[in-house]
Copies of this chain bind each other. A is one copy, B any other.
Amino acid sequence: MIIVNGSAAETIPVMDRGLMYGDGVFRTMRVEHGQVDSWQRQYQKLAADCAALDILCPAQSTLEHDIHEAVTSEPDCVLKIIVSRGEGGRGYGLPSSVHPSRVIVTAPLPEYPARYWEEGVRLHVCEIRMCHQPRLAGIKHLNRLENVLARAEWHDPEVHEGLLCDDTEAVVSGVSSNLFIVRSGGLLTPELGRCGVAGVARGRILRAARAQGMGIEVTRITPAMLLDDEAVMLCNAVQGVRRVARLEDTTWPANGWADRLDAWLNEVD
């Protein structure tokens, strides 16, 4: 189901700046039994991303009304919210008055093979390098061509996710996930001040690990570092935590870390 500005619809105006320039942000969330997982955090992140681009974020209650409309007939789904700056302006310049557009899209929960969890997943090291744009870093905006090109790099269905690096050979994330590693009992994840998306699941895992008394480092991680680590894991709001089992010739055995983080993810807001 699709809800556009509060009403069921399949289309948006051509002149929406979301299409014209990718001038907007989005979130992808898991809905079970009609409840959006970690909704408060998702809304906070949506509002923060809008603020970073000076887009007026719709009120939480407005979006909750839209979401209720969308999930009533589909209580278990993936829910995507897009907020664009709206229509108008001449060229890149903003109109003096602009009303943001909000779009809610539901899709069936993806069915991944159970072995992704049992056996872990395989990573492809993407050739594309993510560019450094501090003004956009961390934000889940609609300018996602880098991710599209990265995802187009492999066709092997055995490969589940791509590893994104920047041009300093620092690891950024997966194509549609954040990355964690365990080293000497501490949890490390890439610093995202220059590129990448700081997802809600990433924030929850960091808070949970801190609450568990685990050492945390948000730092520079290189692909070579991964090879020595105890565990490499991916997370996002739809799939939770997945264990990386293989990256090129390197394999990691299951050692409980991914299950632990996935449990933590479900314990914290």
A: residues with CB less than 8 A from B are 2, 4, 9-23, 26, 53-54, 82, 84-85, 90-94, 103, 105, 107, 110, 128-129, 131-133, 135-136, 141-152, 167, 175-176
Contact = CB atoms under 8 A, between A and B. Distances in A.
Nearest to A143: B143
Contacts of A21: 22, 142-145, 147-148
Contact of A54 (B13, B142, B152, B167): B152
A145 B136 contact: yes
A167 B92 CA distance: 21
Contacts of A20: 26, 82, 142, 144
Contacts of A22: 21-22, 142-145
Contacts of A105: 14-15
A73 to B, nearest CB: 17
A148 B23 contact: yes
Contacts of A144: 20-23, 92, 143
A175 B93 CA distance: 10
18 contacts: A2-B15, A10-B13, A10-B14, A12-B12, A14-B103, A19-B84, A20-B144, A21-B143, A22-B143, A23-B148, A85-B148, A94-B148, A94-B152, A128-B135, A131-B132, A132-B132, A133-B146, A143-B143
A101 to B, nearest CB: 10
A238 B15 CA distance: 19
- Among A82, A133, A136, the one with the most B-chain Cβ atoms within 10 Å of its Cβ is A133
B14 A145 contact: no
Given A53-B149, A92-B151, A12 B14 contact: yes
A149 to B, nearest CB: 6
Contacts of A146: 133, 135-136
Contacts of A94: 148, 151-152
A102 to B, nearest CB: 11
Which 5 pairs show the lowest CB-CB distances between chains A and B? A22-B22, A11-B11, A131-B131, A143-B143, A92-B151
Nearest to A139: B145
Contact of A82 (B17, B19, B148, B167): B19
Contact of A18 (B19, B129, B147): B19
A16 B53 CA distance: 22
Nearest to A107: B90
Nearest to A23: B148
Contacts of A90: 107, 110
